[in-house]
Amino acid sequence: MSFVKRRIDVTISLGEGKFGDTKGPDVTLSGYRVSVAVVAYNGDSQSQLQLRIFGLSQDMMNQLTVIGPIMTERRNNRILVAAGDEGQALSVVYEGTISQAWADYNSAPEVVFNVVALAAALHAVKPVNARSYRGATDVAVIASDLAGVMELAFENNGVSAQLSNPYFCGTALEQLRACARAAGISYTIDRGVLGIWPRNGARQGNAVEISAQKNLIGYPTFTGGGIAFTVLYTPELSLGGLVQVISTIEAAHGEWIVVSIVHSLEAEVPGGAWLSQILCQRQING
């Protein structure tokens, strides 16, 4: 196998203004030793990022540590992580709101800067107006409105359900969760996109191939409700998306829906991790 150098770029934007709602200038960190862990599950839990970056200057860490570790208010401090092979276009691994950020000096002189982020941390606590709709209302319309409030792109994957005279209060994320429960649909906030799809369905798009020839590491294993497998990092994978498993294990062969993703990535580390652990279930028809 040929040697491939991995690269992870980290872009942080600190919220400005009295309430931190105004987007500040971007700080892009490139060429550093970085360790990334992204965890995303189907359901109401937000996808989470845990990131460690080594070799930052004291001034840079002081600047970024202003956003943590303990905040009395939630500001719109954003982080975007992009990864790929050196010399190639990078793909977005994660985008979200920083929950905590701090420097750890216990391993000096190799000081590490830590970041913990959630996909919609700000919108889980930021007050917004309640919303109501008269008559039968498309769930997709409500979700699209909430995506606009949360400054997310919107993706409807075949949801046609309606709610009668719906009313939602609380934060934008609480309203989204209530809407999804009332309509019996699935949703995810994934790299700047709010996607919705039928509870027993999947997100639209071509199924991602999972095979030993392309990305599969080892063999699929069976769980109580589906299968689990490990692959080389494949950016096309998404929560709620389809995969096509090609395997000599007949029971694992075929099309599955992704219900959990865990990415483990490292750059500037010899033999570093570059893989994803995936949990899938069969699509229920009818």
Name the residue range of residue 11's domain: 6-124
pLDDT class for 68, splitting at 50, 70, 90?
A: very low
Angle CA 235–279–94, to nearest 5 = 35
Q: What is the mean predicted confidence (pLDDT) over 163-178?
A: 97
Q: State whether 120 and 194 are in the same domain.
A: no
Q: What is the mean predicted confidence (pLDDT) over 28-35?
A: 95
Q: State whether 135 and 228 are in the same domain.
A: no
Question: Residue 65's pLDDT is what?
Answer: 75
Q: State whether 87 and 115 are in the same domain.
A: yes
Q: State whether 137 and 221 are in the same domain.
A: no
Residue 1 lies in a domain: no
Among 58-72, 102-116, 208-222, top mean pLDDT goes to 208-222
Q: Which residue has the higher pLDDT, 79 or 26?
A: 79
Residue 286 lies in a domain: no
CATH number for 145: 3.55.50.30
pLDDT > 90 fraction of the chain, expressed in percent and rounded = 73
Query: How far lies 139's CA from each of 42, 147, 159, 261, 285, in Å?
Result: 19, 12, 7, 26, 21
Distance CA 156, CA 140 (A): 7
What is the overall mean pLDDT for the chain?
91
Residue 235 lies in a domain: yes
User: Is the pLDDT at 20 greater than 60, yes or no?
Assistant: no
Q: State whether 105 and 145 are in the same domain.
A: no
Residue 203 lies in a domain: no
Q: State whether 76 and 107 are in the same domain.
A: yes
Q: State whether 214 and 242 are in the same domain.
A: yes
Residue 63 lies in a domain: yes
CATH number for 240: 2.40.30.150
User: Is the pLDDT at 115 greater than 80, yes or no?
Assistant: yes
Q: What is the mean predicted confidence (pLDDT) over 40-62?
A: 92
Q: State whether 190 and 253 are in the same domain.
A: no
Q: State whether 101 and 51 are in the same domain.
A: yes
DSSP E strands in 139-207: the ranges are 153-156, 162-164, 167-168, 185-190, 193-198
Q: State whether 117 and 136 are in the same domain.
A: no
End position of a domain, from candidates 124, 146, 171: 124
Q: What is the mean predicted confidence (pLDDT) over 43-67?
A: 88
Question: Residue 285's pLDDT is what?
Answer: 64
User: Is the pLDDT at 120 greater than 90, yes or no?
Assistant: yes
Residue 67: exposure state from Cβ atoms within 10 A (0-12, 13-18, ≥19): buried
User: Is the pLDDT at 83 greater than 80, yes or no?
Assistant: yes
Candidates 22, 29, 43; CA nearest to 122 is: 22
Question: Residue 73's pLDDT is what?
Answer: 53
Q: What is the mean predicted confidence (pLDDT) over 189-213?
A: 95
End position of a domain, from candidates 89, 124, 159: 124
End position of a domain, from candidates 124, 159, 183: 124
Split into its structural domains, the chain has a count of: 3
Q: State whether 96 and 21 are in the same domain.
A: yes
Q: What is the mean predicted confidence (pLDDT) over 65-93?
A: 79
| Beta carbons of 112 and 123 less than 8 angstroms apart | no
In tens, the pLDDT along 218-254 reads 999 998 889 999 999 999 999 999 999 999 898 999 9
Residue 66 lies in a domain: yes
User: Is the pLDDT at 69 greater than 70, yes or no?
Assistant: no
The total of other beta-carbon atoms located within 10 Å of residue 15's CB is 20
Q: State whether 89 and 136 are in the same domain.
A: no
pLDDT class for 1, splitting at 50, 70, 90?
A: very low
